[in-house]
Structure 1
Amino acid sequence: MEPRKRHVFLLWMLVCAGSTQAIEPISTSIAVGMAAALTGFLASYQNIFYYFHECCRPEWISFNSSGLKVDLEQKLFGQHIASRIVLKALTGFMNNAQPKKPLVLSLHGSTGTGKNFVSQIIAENIYKEGMDSSFVHVFTSELHFPHASKIDTYKSQLQQWIKGNVTNCGRSMFIFDEMDKMHPGLIDSIKPYLEYYDKVDGVCYRKAIFIFLSNAGGESITQIALDFWRAGQDRQTIDLKDLEVPLSLSVFNNKQSGLWHTSLIDKNLVDYFVPFLPLEHKHIVQCALAEMEAKGMVKNHEVADQLARDLVYFPKAERVFSVKGCKTIESKLDYYT
């Protein structure tokens, strides 16, 4: 145990266990000495209780720009556009002491391309507790908002949840998963919190982060990636400008999406539409090797390659992109090893 942690832990034990019976055998002079030492120690650690309990302070919330860069480079495969956007967006926002509005990212792509994983990476490089932080809030459409008939109730609840949590900590993060399954119109209820306002009902939302995850737009992203592949162009040459407009239009006009005709897009409140490209065979191999390492296994390229080859790819004749991306790699790895 680190010296500082050991001292704080001993002090905590002393404070918590400080009954009369526990110190009765100690002589008066020793007790007085301990009291003096304890007073001095407490003066040095005025914020001792923050050391043990997560709170909205720099000890628990601190942006690690270099850590985010390394994680995106070494753990996210086949997503050069998404990596670049996320790193620049987060770095600029977190280093701005007075942002004009909350950061709003909308992550789009087919299943297993890394959208949830990137959300996790972001959380781990801002919050000491990562996704387990009490300041990271995840909403899943089918779990939290299942019934279309209750949309008005959901709107009110969602506003209250966000307001309450941002009141508690301005540096809160909200992740909305399965946006393609959310009832159209529901997400518009949080529009005032994403605007360029100093405060809304006395609460400042400017330092909060909102992340939307959706499969909507995945088809348009895949088609563009396929066009590049068929033209013999390198995947790395695909740029955001090739995807941003068709992606935003596809999402805005998708009646099955929670972002259908949303004012968040109409009013340009989404800062970045982040496209996730479909994954090829080589990326699946990288995912399998990374999973082996995460499980403490020796990396086996032959096993990773065989696992990747056995997956389903599309288009059927060309077998270019994995249907499920890296989503089933963890469970399948047990079968191959």
Structure 2
Amino acid sequence: MGDKDLTETLSDGEMEKSSREPLTFYQFSSTVRAVVRIRQKYQAMKKRRMELALCGTPLLPPPRSTSPKIFTFDGVASNNSLIVGKKRKRKKGRILFPNCNRRVPQNKEHSRAKNCLVLLCVIVFLQIYNAIENLDDHVLKYDLEGLEKTLKREVFGQQEVTEGLLVHLKDYLSTYVHSKPLVVSLLGPTGVGKSHLGRLLAQHFRSVVGEQLVLQYFVLHHCPSEGDLPHCSKTLTSHISEMVTQAEEEEKIPIFIFDEMEHMPRELLDTVLTLIHTRDNNEYLNAIYILISNLEHEEITKFVLQNSSSIAVSGRPRLSKELKPLLLSKLKKHHLLWLEGELLPLSLLEKIHVIECFIDEMSREGFYPERSHVERLAEELSYYSVSELEFSRTGCKQVVAKVNLL
């Protein structure tokens, strides 16, 4: 054996001896500290990359490290746990947002307030529809369409008055509960159709609401003597009170028609005003009062004659609008009763209207209304001749007497 072989044999023996010798405490602790530092650095880098990936920041290539790479199963285990966690979160249906951009997730729960709002709208619609239907039903009970046809057929030359009267009646009769009674005052010269209009109203409402709920009061007939005024006033108040009570039980509106108001004494006028005037505890609120008189007929006649030129050009004047202020200033001198109602002045009748009155009356009496004969009868009456127009002085007052002589 040579020297070289001897040297190799000795070095191998020394190496085996050195490998068999145990590590010292100092060498072991430094190795553990190195492993812990490498692990902490690796965990910090992994956490940083995850946050950048969730925030949408592009990942930068990791810097090259000169430290030796040590293979561990920590990364594999963390990645597997992340994947499993994501799968579980998807199953739960929850949405997570990164810490750098927090958002409130949408609440897809159905709100009950929408259902309540829809139900409220349906209820309001039904209430309004039911109210409209009730208004129509209440008006239909009084058959105002039939009254309109009757007035157009039997009242001549007073289209403005009939239209205004129907408007007031329709507005008032559309409901049952009112804050005050309806008062309509019909004014006009002799023979223009005031009393005839009152009779038509009484006849119509007696047929629709009953005989007991319609009062047609003629002053000269019901209270002819001034000595009976206290008794007449008491009787009138008692009668109206009974009618109002009965009407409330039947849910109807009574009709009170007062004719010949120009002859009514002041005590009776005060009684009617007491029944009409609204008070805090007034039980006569649901009622209709028709006041018929020829008060201030001179003012109406004067106004029509002065405006005859405009009548010839544009038709009959609007008496209610232009005469109302003047008539109110005159009527309040007679009594305050006329300030409570709607004024409807009737105009003078022209000759053509008188001819229509003759035709209607002769047809009622069974005579054949020959045109030449009717015009000859109309010529026997007296007229106001203004601006090529002829207005009857007595209206249709003498038509009935003329026809009776045939």
Gapped runs of 5+ residues in structure 1? Answer: 1-57, 254-259
User: Could you tell me how far 1:106 is from its partner in structure 2?
Assistant: 1.0
Q: Matched residue of 2:238: which SS? A: helix
User: Could you tell me how far 1:319 is from its partner in structure 2?
Assistant: 8.1
Q: Matched residue of 2:368: which SS? A: coil
Q: Matched residue of 2:237: which SS? A: helix
Aligned to 1:249: 329
The match for 1:290 among 360, 368, 378 is 360
The match for 1:213 among 292, 297, 308 is 292
The match for 2:218 among 97, 118, 140 is 140
Residues 140, 239 of structure 1: alpha-carbon distance in 2 compared, 3 angstrom cutoff: closer
User: Could you tell me how far 1:107 is from its partner in structure 2?
Assistant: 0.8
2:403 pairs with 1:329: no
Q: Is the 8 A contact 2:237 2:271 kept in 1?
A: yes
- The TM-score normalised by the length of structure 1 is 0.70
Per chain length, whose mean CA-contact separation is higher, i.e. which structure has more relative contact order (CA < 8 Å, sep 6+)? 1
Is the deviation greater in 214-223 or in 243-252? 243-252
User: Could you tell me how far 1:179 is from its partner in structure 2?
Assistant: 0.7
- Report the Cα distance in structure 1 between the residues aligned to 2:306 and 2:387, rounded to whole angstroms: 15
Number of residue pairs matched? Answer: 264
Aligned to 2:340: 269
Aligned to 1:186: 268
- Report the Cα distance in structure 1 between the residues aligned to 2:192 and 2:262, rounded to whole angstroms: 16
Q: Matched residue of 1:111: which SS? A: coil
- Report the Cα distance in structure 1 between the residues aligned to 2:332 and 2:143, rounded to whole angstroms: 33
2:193 pairs with 1:114: yes
Q: Is the 8 A contact 1:111 1:327 kept in 2?
A: yes
Aligned to 2:183: 104
- The TM-score normalised by the length of structure 2 is 0.59
Aligned to 1:305: 375
Paired letter, 1:134: Q
Q: Is the 8 A contact 2:305 2:386 kept in 1?
A: no
Q: Is the 8 A contact 1:175 1:210 kept in 2?
A: yes
- Report the Cα distance in structure 2 between the residues aligned to 1:145 and 1:235, rounded to whole angstroms: 41
Gapped runs of 5+ residues in structure 2? Answer: 1-136
Q: Is the 8 A contact 2:309 2:387 kept in 1?
A: no
User: Could you tell me how far 1:92 is from its partner in structure 2?
Assistant: 1.0
Aligned to 1:3: none
Q: Is the 8 A contact 1:229 1:235 kept in 2?
A: no
Aligned to 2:115: none
Paired letter, 1:277: S
Q: Is the 8 A contact 1:159 1:189 kept in 2?
A: yes
More helix by share: 2
Larger radius of gyration: 2
Residues 192, 182 of structure 1: alpha-carbon distance in 2 compared, 3 angstrom cutoff: closer
The CA RMSD over aligned residues, in Å, is: 2.9
Q: Is the 8 A contact 1:228 1:234 kept in 2?
A: no
Q: Is the 8 A contact 2:308 2:386 kept in 1?
A: no
User: Could you tell me how far 1:154 is from its partner in structure 2?
Assistant: 2.9
Q: Matched residue of 2:340: which SS? A: coil
- Report the Cα distance in structure 2 between the residues aligned to 1:182 and 1:315, rounded to whole angstroms: 34
Residues 248, 303 of structure 1: alpha-carbon distance in 2 compared, 3 angstrom cutoff: farther
Q: Is the 8 A contact 1:62 1:127 kept in 2?
A: no
What percent of counterpart residues are identical? 27
User: Could you tell me how far 1:165 is from its partner in structure 2?
Assistant: 2.2
- Report the Cα distance in structure 1 between the residues aligned to 2:180 and 2:399, rounded to whole angstroms: 38
User: Could you tell me how far 1:122 is from its partner in structure 2?
Assistant: 2.2
Write the deviation string for residues 157-176 of structure 1: whole angstroms up to 9, x where unpaired. 22122112222334222211
Paired letter, 1:306: R
- Report the Cα distance in structure 1 between the residues aligned to 2:225 and 2:364, rounded to whole angstroms: 38
Paired letter, 2:278: Y
Q: Is the 8 A contact 1:228 1:238 kept in 2?
A: no
User: Could you tell me how far 1:277 is from its partner in structure 2?
Assistant: 0.8
Is the deviation greater in 233-242 or in 62-71? 233-242
Q: Matched residue of 1:139: which SS? A: strand
Q: Matched residue of 1:321: which SS? A: strand
User: Could you tell me how far 1:208 is from its partner in structure 2?
Assistant: 1.7
Q: Is the 8 A contact 2:142 2:208 kept in 1?
A: no
The residue correspondences of 1:163-178 to structure 2 (distance < 5 A) are 163-170=241-248, 171-178=253-260
Paired letter, 2:399: I
- Report the Cα distance in structure 2 between the residues aligned to 1:156 and 1:211, rounded to whole angstroms: 20
Residues 276, 188 of structure 1: alpha-carbon distance in 2 compared, 3 angstrom cutoff: same
The match for 2:232 among 135, 154, 174 is 154
- Report the Cα distance in structure 2 between the residues aligned to 1:276 and 1:301, rounded to whole angstroms: 27
